[in-house]
Amino acid sequence: MRKPFFRPLAVAALLPAALLTACGGESGDGANGGSGGNSGNTIKVGVLHSLSGTMAISEVTVKNSEMLAIEEINAKGGVLGKKLEAVTEDGASDWPTFAQKAQKLIKKDKVATVFGGWTSASRKAMLPVFERNKALLWYPVQYEGLESSPYIFYTGATTNQQIVPGLDYLKEKGKKKIYLVGSDYVFPRTANKIIKAYAKANGMEVLGEEYTPLGHTEYSTLVNKIGEAKPDAVFNTLNGDSNVAFFKQLKSAGFDAAKLPVMSVSIAEEEVKGIGVQNIAGQPVAWNYYQTTAGEQNAAFVKAFQAKHKGAVTSDPMEAGYNAVHLWAAAVTKAGSTDVEAVKKAAAGLSLDLPEGKVTIDGPTQHVHKTARIGVIQPDGLIKEVWSSKEPIKPDPYLKSYPWATGLS
């Protein structure tokens, strides 16, 4: 009894055939290319965040605030007389997926721009896609600097708007000996490189530098090491769940905010809820926006957001995402077109009053001028501003205006 040689292939042949016909229908989508998402009565914009996986908890909040901004713009009649249509994609906390979904948004959906990303890894994965396709990405999270892609607008802080002010604050408070704790990835490592250069130039001493894998939750050894080193303050670049374990174990070892201040740059209102306010109250953080930031714009933003999401807090990255949408819309209106090069040109020097105050886009770097704010975590989980730069700080992603930073990039 001889079996057909390749019979299983018969089944195999059917499915790809079905697949091809299914995809084939999309080829017509290319018809309205060119002007970038500006077709018919709507303008398509991409929203690309992790809606699943470990980053979802943070990124969904940014997605929500971006969607709020899109709705606000639509309620006022849209942009160039057309409504915005958001195409949402899931980056799934997976960097190659971000790159692929960015491709899909640009090439298939032909979106006018994309708002998205959170981790540096996702941005680094998307960067070549946007550069090669000459498409625009608005990235809403503070990051490690040393980057200035012509096809990315950075609405979060670069290092001289967050980490350097954080260090200035510690120095002002007379903290001379610091200990560095961070998750093992590109942001903490680069941040610590900058902190060490700053410390050297400002008479501060770095007593130790420790990295733990993302998601690490055992910090008793590290807490002991910190206890033995006796620093004046800790600079914390841990990310995500690790903060919960770190602050709990730090507190149970007897280190509270009064005894050992821990300056954090990745803990905002949303994260405070997860860590448990009892573990972290009184600790300083460095950002550019808090839910409590004064001003009419912010009051309206917080109110609108909480009307849609009951009991939710607003945080710095959420505000930066919200800003990104409004800044892009303003640039499109000014340019009179969604064409990427025209929007870039119109965006340079553009100024808007937004929840954090006046925000101006710096043309050459495509970062924004931002006010630095040091806050202290309150017992109710919100953050109270205790120090701010008098005016928005000009972005300097390569720290060129800081003599101590030469040789870092």
Partner 1 sequence: MSDRLRGYALFASISLLLLVVAPLALPAFRLDELAKYLCFAIAALGIGLAWGQGGMLTLGQGVFFGLGGYAMAMYLKLHDAGGDLPDFMVWSGVEHLPALWKPFGNVGIALAAVVAVSVAIAVVLGVLVFRQRVRGAYFAILTQALAAAFVILLVGQQGLTGGTNGLTNFYDVFGRDPEAEGTQRTLYFVTAIVLGVLYLGARQLVKSRFGRLLVAVRDGEDRVRFLGYNPATVKTVTFAISAAMAGLAGALFVPVVGIISPSLLGVVPSLELVVAVAVGGRYALAGAVLGAVVMNYAKTSFSEQWAGGWLYLEGALFILVMTLAPKGAVGLYEQARDALARRRGVPAPAPTAPQEVAA
**What is the contact surface with partner 1 in residues (CB under 8 A)?**
1-13, 15-17, 19-21, 23-24, 26-27, 29-30, 51-52, 56, 88-90, 92-96, 99-100, 103-104, 107-108, 119-121, 124-125, 127-129, 132-133, 144, 146, 184-186, 189-190, 193, 213-214, 409
Q: How far is the CB of 197 from partner 1 (least distance, A)?
A: 11
What minimum distance in Å lies between the beta carbon of 1 and partner 1?
7
Sequence-separated (6 or more) residues with CB below 8 Å from residue 90: 49, 50, 51, 52, 97, 101
Complex with partner 1: residue 186 or 253, whichever CB lies closer: 186
- 3-class secondary structure, 258: coil
- Shortest distance in whole angstroms from residue 380 CB to partner 1: 32
- Residue 265 Cβ vs partner 1, minimum distance, rounded to whole Å: 17
- In three-state secondary structure terms, 33 is coil
Q: In what order do the strands lie in the sheet with 351-354?
A: 351-354, 357-361, 368-369
Q: Which is nearer to partner 1, 115 or 289 (CB)?
A: 115
Strands 83-90 and 177-183 come out as unpaired
Measured from the CB of residue 67, what is the shortest distance to partner 1 in angstroms?
14
Q: Which residues on neighbouring strands pair with residue 47, listed in sequence order?
A: 88, 115
- Structure tokens that stand for 17 in this block: 């055939």
Q: Compare residues 222 and 377 and give the one whose CB is closer to partner 1.
A: 222
Residue 92 or 329: the one with the smaller Cβ distance to partner 1 is: 92
Nearest-angstrom CA–CA distance, 143 and 123: 10
Give me the least distance between CB of 11 and partner 1, in Å please. 5
Between CA 323 and CA 270 the distance in angstroms is 18
- Per DSSP, 202 falls in state T
Taking the least distance from each CB to partner 1, the nearer of 183 and 365 is: 183
Token representation of residue 145: 């600097």
Q: Residue 29 or residue 353: which is nearer to partner 1 going by CB?
A: 29
Cβ atoms of residues 180 and 195 within 8 Å: yes
Residue nearer to partner 1 on the CB measure, 21 or 258: 21
d(CA 409, CA 406): 7
Closest CA to 285 of 251, 314, 301, 261: 261
Q: Provide, rounded to whole angstroms, the least separation between the CB of residue 175 and partner 1.
A: 24
Q: Which two tokens stand for residue 105?
A: 């948004």
Which lies closer to partner 1 via its Cβ, residue 59 or residue 356? 59
CB of 2 to partner 1, least distance (A): 6
What residue ranges in 63-170 does DSSP mark as E strands?
Answer: 83-90, 114-116, 137-139, 152-154
> What whole-number distance in Å separates Cα of residue 284 and Cα of residue 375?
6
